[in-house]
């Protein structure tokens, strides 16, 4: 009888904790875009070989994007990424054309340590703003916090703000994760509308 009571009490406590945690997430307004177990909610564009492994989505050949079906205007986006040294990737936001994502019809928050033109290396927004700090991302997990509010775009890489700029080219659109070269992994992708 005591064992059954302990088990029941344990289940109740776990349920309360789970409900509380879910409530906090809902209250804060965050939506998980990638939870590590499924690519539901993403539209693949191109021929990148996206696959799930160890709680991340990764690619190492082809070329392409994972694109959200929903558009976002003002938002905060957080995610973690891992790339090897020669990788070319990026986070495209406010994409004007979800079927043909590129750095001329979107804001591309770059992931490219070895870019020939270092002006828009990892942390920069291609064609818009250079990163204020050089942070090499290769071979480790890194975090991005990207905020788009009106014409203001802010990028924080591994806790260091590297871009704070104003630009009016794009006001809303889907979010896209890019695979261009090397090994690229993403995990813990979340968004909150503002």
Q: List beta partners, residue 53.
A: 56
Those residues whose C-beta lies under 8 Å from the C-beta of residue 166, and which sit 6 or more positions away, are 151, 152, 153
pLDDT of 6: 53
Domain limits for position 73? 32-193
pLDDT of 27: 53
Q: Is residue 16 part of a domain?
A: no
Could you tell me if 122 and 110 are in contact, meaning their C-beta atoms sit under 8 angstroms apart? yes
Q: Is residue 95 part of a domain?
A: yes
Q: Is residue 40 part of a domain?
A: yes
- Measure the CA–CA gap between 36 and 32, rounded to whole angstroms: 10
pLDDT of 26: 52
CATH number, position 154: 2.60.120.560
- How many C-beta atoms lie closer than 10 Å to residue 171's C-beta? 13
Q: Is residue 156 part of a domain?
A: yes
Number of domains, the chain:
1
pLDDT of 2: 59
Q: Is residue 14 part of a domain?
A: no
pLDDT of 116: 86
Quote the pTM value. Answer: 0.85
Sign of CA dihedral 43, 76, 125, 60: negative
Closest CA to 157 of 58, 77, 56: 77
Bridging pattern class, strands 43-46 and 64-67: antiparallel
Q: Is residue 72 part of a domain?
A: yes
> pLDDT tens, position by position, for the chain (194 residues)?
555 545 433 444 434 444 444 444 455 999 999 999 999 999 999 999 999 999 999 999 999 999 999 999 999 999 999 999 999 999 999 999 999 999 999 999 999 999 888 899 999 999 999 999 999 999 999 999 999 999 999 999 999 999 999 999 999 999 999 999 999 999 999 999 99
Q: Is residue 19 part of a domain?
A: no
CA angle (182, 102, 98) in 5-degree steps? 110
pLDDT of 81: 99
Could you tell me if 57 and 79 are in contact, meaning their C-beta atoms sit under 8 angstroms apart? no
Q: Is residue 27 part of a domain?
A: no
């Amino acid at each position: 009888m005591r064992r059954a009571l302990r088990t029941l009490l344990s289940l109740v406590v776990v349920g309360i904790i789970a409900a509380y945690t879910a409530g906090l997430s809902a209250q804060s307004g965050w939506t998980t875009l990638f939870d590590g177990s499924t690519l539901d909610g993403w539209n693949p564009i191109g021929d990148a070989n996206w696959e799930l492994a160890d709680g991340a989505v990764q690619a190492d050949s082809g070329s392409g994007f994972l694109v959200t079906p929903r558009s976002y205007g003002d938002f905060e986006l957080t995610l973690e990424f891992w790339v090897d040294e020669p990788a070319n990737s990026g986070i495209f936001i406010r994409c004007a054309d979800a079927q043909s994502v590129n750095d001329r019809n979107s804001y591309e928050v770059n992931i490219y340590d070895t870019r020939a033109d270092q002006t828009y290396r990892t942390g920069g927004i291609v064609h818009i703003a250079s990163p204020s700090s050089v942070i090499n991302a290769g071979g480790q997990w890194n975090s991005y916090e990207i905020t788009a509010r009106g014409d203001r775009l802010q990028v924080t890489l591994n806790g260091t703000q590297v871009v704070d700029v104003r630009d009016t080219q794009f006001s809303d659109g889907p979010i896209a994760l890019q695979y261009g070269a090397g090994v690229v992994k993403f995990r813990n992708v979340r968004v909150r509308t503002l």
